């Protein structure tokens, strides 16, 4: 299980390496969550990504695009060549997810606070159509500073969206610092409960068994559900873990050695990346 996490992170890193900056730490934070969603939870058709009864997955913290693009590649929706075009000119994919660039993306995200409202709309439409599909939205703990998120939270309760699951990537850090400092918020549970949501928790957001156990539970009737996942920003590389400075940067030459060692990256693989760019 740990090996899978390491392999996925290595793939994310090699996809992005060579760019001046990438959101490695935010993507590493949700690596296991996005992996479990694609491998065990989401119902979708690789040959028909627009299948009308597919489960919807929205990465509202779109800057973690590496996590979703790598998984779209793992399940066979995104080609190796396209994955390797990350942040390059031409017919490519970018640092935030966009449906125009790649099948399997529901909506452009990147401006924070949009994905949940879009997902609320999808959940309403799917309920009207009596579709069995569910909507899964990953939001960041910094992202939910945005007021509109709470508009969406109210609407999901009002419309009794028991086909909606939000996964809150609670890594305790936002762009410039700790969430407990930035907005003096230490706990989210009672806030979502107060809005009428079912609240579940994943104690270790990097433990795939626990992620699966919690995500595979059903929503209570008529209730939207939030799963608060305790994660570590930059998980998987010791020098990034829990350090706000890594929100959007690449390792320098000295730091690269730590990445290579901890993610089992060979010098040849680094050379191949350089050639690609």
Is the Cβ–Cβ distance between 80 and 73 less than 8 Å?
Answer: yes
Tell me how crowded residue 229 is: count the other CB atoms within 10 A of its CB: 28
Pairwise CA distance, residues 152 & 164, whole Å? 11
- Per-position x/- string for 19-58, each x denoting binding to another protein as judged by CB under 8 A, each - no binding: ---------------------------------x------
Among 158, 177, 181, 271, binds another protein (CB under 8 A): 158
Is the Cβ–Cβ distance between 5 and 31 less than 8 Å?
Answer: yes
Among 21, 148, 180, 183, binds another protein (CB under 8 A): 148
By the rule CB under 8 A, 122 interacts with another protein:
yes
Q: How far is the CB of 186 from another protein (least distance, A)?
A: 26
Pairwise CA distance, residues 67 & 35, whole Å? 8
Pairwise CA distance, residues 200 & 271, whole Å? 44
Q: What are the angstrom distances between the C-alpha of 83 and each of 79, 86, 251? A: 6, 6, 21
By the rule CB under 8 A, 125 interacts with another protein:
yes
Closer CB to another protein, residue 19 or residue 160?
160
By the rule CB under 8 A, 151 interacts with another protein:
yes
What is the separation of C-alpha 36 from the centre of its chain, rounded to a whole number of angstroms? 11
By the rule CB under 8 A, 217 interacts with another protein:
no
By the rule CB under 8 A, 164 interacts with another protein:
no
By the rule CB under 8 A, 242 interacts with another protein:
no
Closer CB to another protein, residue 158 or residue 217?
158
- Per-position x/- string for 69-108, each x denoting binding to another protein as judged by CB under 8 A, each - no binding: ------------------------------x------xxx
Residues in Cβ contact with 254 at an 8 Å cutoff, skipping those fewer than 6 apart: none
By the rule CB under 8 A, 123 interacts with another protein:
yes
Nearest to 32 by CA among 201, 251, 229: 229
Binding segment for another protein among 11-19, 65-73, 113-121, 174-182 (CB under 8 A)? 113-121
Strand blocks (E) in the chain: 56-59, 135-140, 164-170, 173-174, 177-178, 198-202, 225-230
Query: Looking only at residues 51 through 70 of this chain, which bind another protein when binding is defined by CB under 8 A?
Result: 52
Closer CB to another protein, residue 155 or residue 270?
155
The binding site for another protein (CB under 8 A) comprises: 52, 99, 106-108, 111, 113-114, 116-126, 128-129, 148, 151-152, 154-155, 158-159
């Amino acid at each position: 299980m740990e090996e899978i996490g390491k392999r996925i992170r290595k793939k994310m890193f090699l996809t992005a390496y060579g760019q001046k900056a990438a959101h490695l730490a935010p993507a590493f934070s949700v690596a296991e969550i996005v992996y479990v969603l694609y491998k065990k939870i989401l119902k979708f058709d690789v040959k028909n990504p627009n299948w009308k009864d597919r489960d919807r997955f929205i990465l509202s913290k779109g800057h973690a695009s590496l996590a979703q693009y790598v998984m779209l590649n793992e399940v066979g929706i995104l080609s190796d060549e396209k994955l390797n075009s990350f942040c390059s000119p031409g017919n490519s994919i970018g640092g935030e997810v966009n449906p125009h660039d790649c099948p399997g993306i529901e909506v452009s995200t990147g401006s924070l606070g949009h994905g949940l409202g879009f997902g609320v709309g999808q959940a309403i439409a799917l309920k009207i159509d009596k579709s069995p599909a569910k909507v899964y939205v990953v939001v960041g703990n910094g992202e939910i500073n945005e007021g509109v998120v709470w508009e969406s939270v109210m609407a999901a309760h009002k419309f009794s969206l028991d086909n909606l699951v939000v996964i809150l990537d609670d890594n305790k850090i936002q762009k410039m610092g700790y969430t407990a400092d930035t907005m003096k918020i230490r706990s989210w549970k009672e806030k979502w409960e107060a809005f009428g949501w079912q609240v579940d928790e994943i104690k270790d957001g990097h433990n795939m068994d626990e992620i699966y156990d919690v995500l595979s539970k059903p929503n209570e009737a008529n209730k939207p559900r939030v799963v608060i996942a305790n994660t570590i920003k930059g998980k998987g590389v010791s020098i990034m873990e829990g350090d706000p400075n890594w929100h959007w940067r690449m390792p320098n030459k000295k730091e690269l050695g730590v990445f290579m060692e901890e993610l089992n990256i060979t010098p040849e693989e680094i050379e191949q990346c350089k050639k690609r760019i």
